[in-house]
Amino acid sequence: MKTIKEIDLSGKRVFVRVDFNVPLDDAQNITDDTRITAVLPTLRYAIDHGARLIVASHLGRPKGKRVPTMSLAPVAQRLGQHLNASVTMAPNCIGPEVVAMADNLGVGEILLLENLRFHPEEQANDAAFAAQLAALCDVYINDAFAVSHRANASVEAITRHVTAAGAGFLLQTELDYFAKAMADPERPLVAIIGGAKVSSKLGALENMIQHVNKFIVGGAMANTFLNSLGHDVGASKVEADLVAVAGEIMAQAAAKGIAFYLPVDVVVAEHFDETAATRIVPVQEIPRGWMALDIGPASISLFSEALADARTIIWNGPMGVFEMAPFSRGTMELVAHVASTDALSIVGGGDTDVAIHNSGLAQQITYMSTGGGAFLHLMEGKTLPAVDALEAVHQS
């Protein structure tokens, strides 16, 4: 796979696929532009090297229809501010008018295409739609790690219609950091896996068991593991069909000499509500009808001790319902412990990223991935379809 630095951009129409799926408030104001700032190095490099820049992204889930509230127009304005340049907003992402706008771009000028997902062909990975996108450019650059696990037209099929293609700086950085954590990590390598469901992380757990030295499991998914050990977890969320599988994963870890840490105490509540009465109890004493919504202080101490000698930490998923103040302590204290280690720490997953940003300790995490789904895809040991497609361009 080539990178943007290996491709001549001078005077070329350069199509850069990015992820500008930013949050908007009711007044269409961008509330967090992290995804915009993440790709600025790639866009600036292209401009500085004489590109005629065409930028493309999706926003939200318009389900193949034009939805005015999901227009990228607010992004065009914010991007222009960051680049200190005028960004022209296209009325569509394909069609004669857009072709003319792309052809008439001057060196250093920037055109932002309208939401790719206004067309159902984007998510269908439609070849004809991809060919129309490819016709806009001379060079294709993928810098959208967050959607590279999806076979969408703008990241997968488009590569079959271009002669020059490569990775942007963000995509390359994401892959490099993940390789550092998995291919030849400094050990001990500790995986922290949290979130709601074992089912959504099962592939990652089964693959990571081939690589890690320690597992730390928290969040609602820990209930299924605790249940497999014979604990009655009250009204806590349990995936009954995966209780036996959870037991098998722990047995595999034990057979490989991998330390497997589960919560030893939890914060429980009678209701899934911020105002509900709460208690801290050992996992053996969860009251009937109550639910575990965070790890407790003894679990925080146990997990922090497990992290003390870590040289590499990979984390996906929170320890509890951190969005509610009574159930945020476990995740936030674990953030502080990870941030205080000397380990290479890589965090992926939207919820975990939010927690780290809220903690104010983001600068002490080595790398925060921009793509939860793509990050998890790599944790499962899979390749990314969009990256495979980029590699194929220069093999043909």
Q: Which is the catalytic residue, given 50, 80, 108, 373?
A: 373
- Cβ neighbours around 367 below 10 Å, total: 17
d(CA 253, CA 212): 9
Would you call 381 a catalytic residue per the annotation? no
Q: Decide if 257 is catalytic.
A: no
% of the chain with per-residue pLDDT over 70: 99
Q: Which of 12, 13, 17, 35 is catalytic?
A: 35
d(CA 60, CA 23): 9
- H or E, element range at 14: strand 13-17
Name the CATH superfamily for 4-172+385-393: Phosphoglycerate kinase, N-terminal domain (3.40.50.1260)
User: Percent of the chain beyond pLDDT 90?
Assistant: 87
> Which member of 247, 350, 381, 382 is catalytic?
350
Please report, for residues 214, 234, 243, the alpha-carbon distance to residue 248 in angstroms, rounded to integers and kept in the order given: 16, 22, 9
Which pair of tokens denotes residue 305? 């001790």
Q: For residue 342, count CB atoms less than 10 angstroms from its CB and return exposed for 0-12, middle for 13-18, buried for 19 or more.
A: exposed
State how far the Cα of 317 lies from the Cα of 375, in Å rounded to an integer: 11
Residues 6+ away with beta carbon under 8 Å from 339: 345, 359, 361, 364, 365
Bridge-partner residues for 368, per DSSP?
A: 347
In the prediction, which pLDDT does 350 show?
Answer: 62
Determine the Cα–Cα distance for residues 304 and 336; give it in Å rounded to an integer. Answer: 9
161 within 8 A of 137, measured Cβ to Cβ: no
Domain boundaries, the chain: 4-172+385-393, 187-342
Catalytic-residue membership of 214:
no
CA distance 96 to 31: 33
Phi and psi angles of residue 253, each rounded to the nearest 5 degrees, phi first: -60, -45
- Of 197, 237, 279, 311, which is the active-site residue? 197
CB contact at 8 A, 36 and 78: yes
pLDDT per position as a tens digit, 90-142: 999 999 999 999 999 999 999 999 999 999 999 999 999 999 999 999 999 99
Asked if pLDDT for residue 72 goes beyond 90, the answer is: yes
- Give pLDDT tens digits for 284-299: 999 999 999 999 999 9
Determine phi and psi for 110, rounding to 5 degrees.
-130, 130
Instruction: Give the tokens for residue 63.
Output: 């389900």
Q: Which CATH number fits domain 187-342: 3.10.20.30, 3.40.50.1260, 3.30.9.10, 3.40.50.300?
A: 3.40.50.1260
Q: What is the pTM of this model?
A: 0.90
pLDDT digits (tens, 9 = 90+) for 137-173: 999 999 999 999 999 999 999 999 999 999 999 999 9
How would residue 238 be classed by pLDDT, with cut points 50, 70 and 90?
very high
Say how far apart CA 364 and CA 356 lie, in whole Å: 10
Average pLDDT, the chain: 95
Domains 4-172+385-393 and 187-342 share a fold: yes
Active site residue 117: no
Report residue 301's pLDDT band, with 50, 70 and 90 as the boundaries.
Answer: very high
**DSSP letter for each residue of 260-293:** EE--SEEEEESSSSTTS-EEEEEGGGPPTT-EEE
